[in-house]
Structure 1
């Protein structure tokens, strides 16, 4: 449920930026936040069930996805207004990292 909520909010906020004419920021907000979520989920999955080489590759892929995702979001200037609070896009990506890590269970990784 956590992941569905995060992805739905990401799509809504990125879509809102697209609708308002900020094409680069909207696409960056959707792609960057999703990449950060993928990074945490993939890293946890590789650590739970992977062999040593798979764990190393999972860590390397996670670092790559995080750097690219946060870099694109930071460069675009994407930010989120949510119930009167404003978050930078990088903070939203960090929330995605936490959501991906928390929501990934062993059954998802096998």
Structure 2
């Protein structure tokens, strides 16, 4: 079962891509994971079927080639603006979150 395999998956980039495949391969929509440069890291079979055998996305290939030439510039611009707009979140432990909540509520301090 996919959900059980998701729970036991390894962490890190390879675990993420394995999880993507478990979830995306059965999907009827074309899906892909891209790196920050717009290159394909992984794609599901539906996207390969949509693209056809000559343009099927392969790891490392630019995703822009899957788009109509008139849409490529807008895709590259959207990718660049999205990378600038997404702030990196600070990782907090559960203990740190509890401490912050206690401080806000005025409890214990």
TM-score (ref. length: structure 2): 0.28
TM-score (ref. length: structure 1): 0.27
Greater relative contact order (Cα < 8 A, sep 6+): 1
Query: Which structure has the larger Rg over C-alpha atoms?
Result: 2
Instruction: Tell me which protein shows more helix as a share of its residues.
Output: 1
